[in-house]
Amino acid sequence: MAARLGVEVYLDLLSQPCRALHILLGCTSLPHTVRHVALRRGDHRTPEFSQLNPMQKVPVMVDNGFVLTESDAIMKYLVNKYDVPEHWYPRQPERRARVDEYTAWHHTHTRPHAAKVFILEVLLPAQTSSPVDEERLSRAVSQLDDTLEKLESMFLRRQPFLCGDDVTVADLLAVCELMQPEAGGRDVLQQSPQLQRWKSRVRAAVGDAFDQAHAVLYAVRDRRRAKL
Amino acid sequence: MQGVCSAAAAMAVELYLDLLSQPCRSVLIFAKKNNIPHEVKQVSLMDGEQHREDFGKVSLIRKVPALQDGDFCLAESPAILLYLARKFKTPDHWYPADLQQCARIDEYLSWQHCAIRLHGSKVFWLKLMIPEVLHVEVPKEKMDAAVEELNGSLKLLEEKFLQDRPFIAGDHISLADLVAIVEVMQPVAAGLDVFGGRPKLSAWRDRVQAAIGKELFDEVHQTVMGSQERVKVMDGSKLEFSKAKILKFFM
């Protein structure tokens, strides 16, 4: 009988959804093998990777031949299939629906709006060796602030976590997106004490897995700081 | 009889919908197809009804579709569809118990937000609503770019999500196909020939329509399919309050 290696996950820890998945795997101790994909090197555009995922994106999960993309689908699959605490993706219909509601909204709000700040402040200037477009960045920050306000008033409200009393995959997805602008030294939650407290609770809930997933991001941030 | 009727009424979920909106159509088709007791509450986006105070109590997010089931309120069509499927125990093929098959559906529901949904909506607005209702000219390059993006998404739908399967998750229609078809119909309603030169996509559309029932499909799509005619007589001032936001988002 072949030894089970657990699931294989193709990740680049500079990618927000990859970190969310990495944290889930880390704090649930699910057996897994990480295959590193360096987006900066174009690893995602190779013929081999494109065969695995024609969308040329990370993360990708392979579970004994079953290939799955999209971080939220991957995390839900893992929680459904393996013996992990069910609070990550609760089974009770209304609680599960709350997580589904957030993961859908995430795609059109938290993810694009936080990513845009990172792209304008860090990625584009690095790739094009040009200065930051301050006007566009300012608009992007403003748009993200609107989204943070909605995150707080529509999802978090008075709850400890986004979808209720316990941490779920929704919190992982959100927190990793909101960490991305840290690469440029920007704390997007600076003006939001409620969200800062939420983030602390998420960090406490996942333990070391948080910093382990973010090590690469911290390194990027620290290198940039050293240059300035 | 009266006891049964009031029990059914008590069980009915409220669905807040505007059938011009793609995700509203998938929710309504699903509810009707599966005989889920429901009451439709119209929310006219063109008339800004999503900003009504009472609607804000149902949907903090102020988006349609929204569901109210007793005290439980829910937004976002993938969440609503999954909730209805689980609560009303709809036939397995819509969202199978098999973990790999339902993961395939989750994968599609996730991907489509920033792909077909985004690109199809953009074409609808750039081709029809912005020029005909807001009376703003759309530069050819922007229109061409939007159609190119949509083409890219349609290609992925065919080559990655369908491949040689009759439906996205396999042999039977599922929530993924339902969510896909309503989005594909949006640029069609704006007058773009999406199916021409795409025999695979056309064949899939025919299967999806047959599985849903052509009558139900056409009934739910009637409003949006009348868009090209309706914009000729539409009062453009209705959209003035969101004009800046619309232009910023799509142009």
**What gap in Å lies between CA A14 and CA A216, rounded to an integer?**
7
pLDDT score of A5: 67
| Average pLDDT, rounded, for chain A | 95
C-beta neighbour count of B236 within 10 angstroms? 13
pLDDT score of B248: 86
Mutate to test the interface with B, among A70, A80, A83, A106 (most CBs of B within 10 A): A70
CB within 8 Å: A100 and B78: yes
User: Which position has the higher pLDDT, A5 or A204?
Assistant: A204
Which stretch of B14-18, B110-114, B243-247 has the lowest confidence by average pLDDT?
B243-247
Residue A4: pLDDT band with limits 50, 70, 90:
low
pLDDT score of A1: 40
Distance in Å, alpha carbon of A225 to nearest chain B alpha carbon: 33
For A2-84, the fitting CATH number among 3.40.50.720, 3.40.50.1000, 3.40.120.10, 3.40.30.10 is 3.40.30.10
pLDDT score of B249: 86
Q: Which residues of B touch A74 (CB under 8 A)?
A: 103
| Average pLDDT, rounded, for chain B | 93
**What gap in Å lies between CA A168 and CA A163, rounded to an integer?**
7
Rounded to 10 degrees, what is the CA torsion of A180, A181, A184, A186?
A: -130
Distance in Å, alpha carbon of B197 to nearest chain A alpha carbon: 22
> How far does Cα B146 stand from its chain's mean position?
19
Q: Which residues of B touch A72 (CB under 8 A)?
A: 106, 110
Among chain A, residues having any CB pair with chain B shorter than 8 Å are 54-55, 66, 68-74, 76-77, 80-81, 93-94, 96-98, 100-101, 103-105, 107-108, 112, 150, 153-154
CB within 8 Å: B99 and A70: no
> Mean pLDDT throughout B96-111?
97
Distance in Å, alpha carbon of A184 to nearest chain B alpha carbon: 25
CB within 8 Å: A55 and B156: yes
pLDDT at A3 over 60: no
Residue B239: pLDDT band with limits 50, 70, 90:
confident
> Mean pLDDT throughout A207-227?
96
pLDDT score of B244: 87
> Mean pLDDT throughout A30-37?
96
> Mean pLDDT throughout B116-135?
94
Q: How is the beta sheet containing B13-17 ordered, strand by strand?
A: B38-42, B13-17, B66-69, B72-75
pLDDT score of B3: 46
pLDDT in tens, A77-115: 999 999 899 999 999 999 999 999 999 999 999 999 999
Termini Cα distance of chain A? 55
Q: Where are the domains of chain A?
A: 2-84, 93-227
> Mean pLDDT throughout B60-81?
95
> Mean pLDDT throughout B36-51?
92
Beta-carbon contacts of B198 under 8 Å, excluding residues fewer than 6 positions away, are B154, B158
pLDDT score of A208: 96
Cβ atoms of residues A22 and A209 within 8 Å:
yes
Q: How far is CA B156 from CA A53, A108, B153, in A?
A: 11, 20, 5
The strand pair at A32-36 and A60-63 is best described as unpaired
CB within 8 Å: B86 and A73: no
> How far does Cα B99 stand from its chain's mean position?
25
Residue holding tokens 């159509």? B25
> How far does Cα A96 stand from its chain's mean position?
19
> Mean pLDDT throughout B51-63?
88
pLDDT score of B240: 81
pLDDT score of B7: 54
Cβ atoms of residues B30 and B179 within 8 Å:
no
Q: Which residues of A touch B111 (CB under 8 A)?
A: 55, 69-70
pLDDT in tens, B128-185: 999 999 999 999 999 999 999 999 999 999 999 999 999 999 999 999 999 999 999 9
pLDDT score of B8: 54
Q: What percent of chain B has pLDDT over 90?
A: 80
**What gap in Å lies between CA B162 and CA B155, rounded to an integer?**
10
Termini Cα distance of chain B? 56
Burial class (CB in 10 A: 0-12, 13-18, 19+), B10: exposed
* Matching fold, domains A2-84 and A93-227: no
Minimal-distance CA residue of chain A relative to B111: A70
pLDDT score of B204: 98
Largest CA distance in chain A: 60
Minimal-distance CA residue of chain B relative to A100: B79
CATH of domain A93-227: 1.20.1050.10
Residue B39: pLDDT band with limits 50, 70, 90:
very high
Cβ atoms of residues B153 and B115 within 8 Å:
yes
- The pTM score is 0.95
Written as one string, the DSSP assignment of chain A is -PPP--EEEEE-TTSHHHHHHHHHHHHHT--EEEEE--GGGTGGGSHHHHHH-TT--S-EEEETTEEEESHHHHHHHHHHHSS--GGGS-SSHHHHHHHHHHHHHHHHTHHHHHHHHHIIIIIHHHHHT----HHHHHHHHHHHHHHHHHIIIIIITTSSBTTBSS--HHHHHHHHHHHGGGGGT--TTTT-HHHHHHHHHHHHHHTTHHHHHHHHHHHHHHHHHHH-
Minimal-distance CA residue of chain B relative to A99: B79
Q: How far is CA A179 from CA A17, A115, B31, B229, in A?
A: 11, 10, 39, 47
